[in-house]
Amino acid sequence: MTDPEQDEVFEAYLKRRPVLPSLDDRPEPSAALDQKVMAAAREAIGPQRAGVDAAHGAAGGSGGMNRAPRWAVPIALAATILLSLSVVMNVSLNTNRPSPNRDRMADARADVKASAEANAIAESDAAAGVAARAKSPAMAFSKDERRESVSGGIPSNEVVLPGAKVAGVAAPRVPVEAEPAAPAPAPAAEAPEVVASAANRARAAPGAAQVTDALAQSEGTAAADSRVARAASAEDKAALFAKRAGANQPAAKSTAAAPHPTDPKVWLQQIDALRAAGKTEQAAAEMRRFKAAFPGYEVSPPPPAPPDLPK
Amino acid sequence: MSTDDDDELMRRYARGDMRAFEALYRRHKSALYRYLVRQTRNTETANDVFQEAWSKVITSRERYEPRAQFRTFLFRIAHNCFIDHCRRAAVRIESSGGEDGWEGMLPGSEQDQPDTRVEQAQLTARYRAALATLPAEQRDTFLLYESGLSLDEVASVSAVGPETAKSRLRYAVTKLRAILAPAAEAISAGGAAGAGASGVGSAGVGVIQEPGV
């Protein structure tokens, strides 16, 4: 059982009120004791202290307040790794992806190639005396068409003739609008036609210069001289084209039994070409087939052979 | 002084910052030394225990975890060091109550002091004698509380519950008051006659006051 008075005194004491005489002695550790403790503390961190003092010296002796926090090093490492990875990823992605410069270079190369092909086609057409071909804007192929010709794309209004491709020369493209009424010929039947056309071009090559000259004069352009020069070289190219086409003739022969052209004029031109090539037997056979196919068609007699030629 | 600052200083010292330890030492050295001097009643012993306690703080810097206030951590170490010292010296705390240790801590020679100082010295000597009569646990609890620790901190340092610490403190205060009250009243009466009606000794020694005064 506690005394209420003592309880009150104790409660007052707990509230830090003076209920007892205070010990006013204020003993302090001596300076020597302070030095001993400090020396022990300094000795304990001796190896670490050198680094800390160096850091303090670098920070201007600011009491270590400028020391980098402990998390700084891992964060810096993580940031460095992340940055490096992003750079590597970016570089690798850009390496695999075509760049705009590369596209531009490919376009330029395609333009050069397409213009060369267009020149060759135009020259061969001019050599063949085909007016429509000669007047067609072969030099003015649009950039898209050139790009498609290089990349393999085909414009929707053109058809590439299969089997007519000659080594080193792009397959000639025949506009579909040129023969709207005629059905698309079968690929196998077109090969002889192309061969004949190439032969015609080869025959007409000597007059190519005159045709080109006429065109240049009619157009009245300043580029006439250059075209003449190109036409002169077109003779050689047309001859080469015909020669290569002739080399492909066996393949065309193998497909000669195939269905004949539906246009009698074209067929007759082929027959004339065979005659001109000295293949009279084959021309006669073709003529027989022609007459069987078009019995009512009036065929003009073949031109008489030159008198000086031996029969 | 904030606990967070103490913890941060201790962490910085653990990382090798000597300036942090110096700040920590300056903050707590006086209270700890006072506690040890009153506990040991001998400056030499207090110096040894004080140095040992700080050495343990230094060696435990890597393992330090701020579970409690640094002051509690420091006084617990000092308390354990004092107990170890008593065991090593085979000193019985209860029976050690000689006046030798206290004599050196008196404010000064009585010959150099005025009469009031003599009376204060007499009261202080009586106070210390009364402390010596207390059981070790009660005296330890009382001195820890007088060092500025809260009851919870005292309980933590003594490794007892808060109620036990409070009970010990109550017994200590009651006994000290019972011993010191007659002397304090006599001094107060004498001081009042000599120094007027202030009711307080001229030396500034607080007199026992009744609750509510």
DSSP code string of A220-280: T-TTHHHHHHHHHHHHHHHHHHHHHHHHTHHHHHHTTTSPPPS-HHHHHHHHHHHHHTT-H
Q: Regarding predicted confidence, which is higher, B199 or B127? A: B127
Q: Which residue in B129, B114, B111, B110 sits closest to B202, CA to CA?
A: B114
Tell me the average pLDDT across A142-161. 44
With CA atoms as reference, report the closest residue to B71 among B142, B140, B139, B5.
B5
Confidence at residue A109, expressed as pLDDT on a 0 to 100 scale = 79
Q: How far is CA B18 from CA A41, A53, A60, A65, B4, in A?
A: 7, 9, 16, 13, 18
Look-up: residue for tokens 């898209």?
A144
**Residue A81: what pLDDT?**
95
For residue A169, is pLDDT > 70? Answer: no
Predicted confidence band at A55 (pLDDT cuts at 50, 70, 90)?
low
Q: In a 10 Å sphere around its CB, with 0-12 CB exposed, 13-18 middle and 19+ buried, how is residue B113 labelled?
A: middle
pLDDT at A195: 45
User: Does the CA dihedral A34-A35-A36-A40 come out positive or negative?
Assistant: positive
pLDDT of residue A78: 94
Q: What is the mean pLDDT of residues A259-278?
A: 85
Reply yes or no on whether the pLDDT at B183 is more than 60: yes
Vertex A185, ends A179 and A188: CA angle to 5°? 145
What is the average pLDDT value for chain A, to the nearest integer?
63
pTM: 0.42
Domains of chain B, earliest start first? 1-96 (1.10.1740.10), 111-205 (1.10.10.10)
Neighbouring C-alpha atoms within 13 Å toward the C-beta of A155: 16
Tell me the nearest-neighbour CA distance from B13 into chain A, angstroms: 8
B173 vs A10: CB contact, 8 Å cut-off?
yes
Query: Mean pLDDT lowest for which of A222-231, B55-64, B144-153?
Result: A222-231
Residue in B12, B30, B180 closest to A20 by CB: B180
Tell me the mean pLDDT in the region A71-96. 90
**pLDDT grade for B47, boundaries at 50, 70 and 90:** very high
Strand A158-160 to strand A173-175: parallel, antiparallel, or no bridges (unpaired)? antiparallel
Is pLDDT above 90 for B55?
yes
Contacts of B201 by beta carbon, 8 Å cutoff, 6+ apart: B116, B119, B120, B123, B187, B188, B191, B195, B207
Predicted local confidence at residue B53, as pLDDT: 93
Cross-chain CB nearest to A24 (options B46, B174, B204): B204
pLDDT of residue A154: 43
**What pLDDT band is residue B29 in, cutting at 50, 70 and 90?**
very high
User: What is the DSSP-derived secondary structure letter of residue A173?
Assistant: E
Among A182-191, A266-275, B157-166, the minimum mean pLDDT is found in A182-191
**Residue of A221, A12, A141, A289 lying closest to B212 (CA atoms):** A12
> Residue ranges of the domains in chain A?
99-160+193-245, 259-297
Amino acid, single-letter form, for residue A111: D
The closest CB to that of A40, out of B12, B30, B55, belongs to B55
pLDDT score, position B60 = 87
pLDDT value at residue A2: 61
Which of A8, A14, A41 comes nearest B58 by C-beta?
A41
What's the mean pLDDT when you consider all of chain B?
Answer: 75
At A108, the pLDDT band (50, 70, 90 cuts) reads: confident
- pLDDT, residue B186, reads 62
Residues 51-90 (A) with a CB less than 8 A from some CB of B: 51-52, 63-64, 67, 70
**Cβ atoms within 10 Å, residue A296:** 5
3-class secondary-structure state, position A84: helix
Question: Where does the pLDDT of residue A87 fall: very low under 50, low under 70, confident under 90, or very high at 90 and above?
Answer: very high
List the one residue out of A70, A68, A45, A67 whose CA is nearest residue A56. A67
Q: Round to whole Å and give the CA distance between B180 and B184.
A: 6
Whether A21 has its CB under 8 Å from any CB of chain B: the answer is yes
Angle at A53 between CA B73 and CA A63, to 5 degrees: 65
Question: Confidence band (pLDDT; 50, 70, 90) for B116?
Answer: low
Band (A134; pLDDT cuts 50, 70, 90): very low
Output the pLDDT for position A88: 93
Q: Which of A260, A267, A256, A259 is nearest to A297 (CA)?
A: A267
| Chain B residues lying within 8 Å of A9, measured CB to CB | 173-174, 177, 210-211
Locate the chain A residue with the closest alpha carbon to B177: A20
Alpha-carbon distance A49 to B170, whole Å? Answer: 47
Determine the residue of chain A that is closest to B203 in CA distance: A24
Evaluate whether A226 touches A200 at the Cβ level (below 8 Å). no
Q: What pLDDT, on a 0 to 100 scale, did the predictor assign at position A222?
A: 43
pLDDT at A270 over 70: yes
Residue B90 has a pLDDT of 64
Of B107 and B27, the one with more pLDDT:
B27
Contact, B125 vs B133, CB < 8 A? no
pLDDT at A43 over 70: yes
Q: What does the pLDDT look like over A205-239, one tens digit per residue?
A: 444 444 445 444 544 444 444 454 455 455 555 55
Is the model's pLDDT at A291 over the cut of 80?
yes
Of the pLDDT bands very low, low, confident and very high (cuts 50, 70, 90), residue B50 is very high
Contacts A19 to B, Cβ<8 Å: 173, 177, 208-209, 211
Q: B211 to chain A nearest CA, in Å?
A: 5
Q: A59 to chain B: which residues are within 8 Å by CB?
A: none
Looking at residue A311, its pLDDT comes to 46
Question: A15-24, A185-194, B129-138 — which one is most confidently predicted on average?
Answer: B129-138
Q: What pLDDT score was predicted for residue B48? A: 92
* Cα dist from A221 to A141, A217, A226, whole Å: 18, 7, 10
| Cβ contact A8–B107 (<8 Å) | no
Q: Is the dihedral of CA A26, A31, A36, A38 positive or negative?
A: positive
**Nearest CB to A41 within list B21, B30, B210:** B21
Residue in this structure with the two tokens 């790794």, named with its chain if needed: A81
Contacts 24+ apart (CB under 8 A), B203-207: B203/A24, B203/B116, B203/B117, B203/B119, B203/B120, B204/A24, B204/B120, B205/A21, B205/A22, B205/A24, B205/B120, B205/B123, B205/B124, B206/A18, B206/A20, B206/A21, B206/A22, B207/A21
- The answer to whether A4 faces chain B, any CB pair under 8 Å, is no
Per-residue burial over A237-264, b if 16 or more Cβ lie within 10 Å, else e, is bbbbbbeebeebbeebeebbeeebbeee
Of B9, B46, B106, B59, residue with least CA distance to A29: B46
**What pLDDT band is residue A165 in, cutting at 50, 70 and 90?**
very low
For testing contact with chain B, the best of A1, A7, A19, A49 (most B CBs within 10 A): A19
Give the SS3 label for residue A158.
strand
Yes or no, beta carbons of A21 and B180 under 8 Å apart: yes
Nearest by CB to A27, from B33, B120, B173: name it. Answer: B33
Cβ(A283)–Cβ(A269) below 8 Å: no
Distance from CA of A79 to the nearest CA of B (A): 25
Tell me which chain A residues have a C-beta less than 8 angstroms from the C-beta of B54: 37, 40-41
Q: Which residue has the higher pLDDT, A196 or A282?
A: A282
Across the interface, whether the CB atoms of A23 and B146 are under 8 A apart is answered yes
Q: pLDDT class for A77, splitting at 50, 70, 90?
A: very high
Residue A310 has pLDDT above 90, yes or no: no
The answer to whether the Cβ–Cβ distance between B208 and A12 falls below 8 Å is no
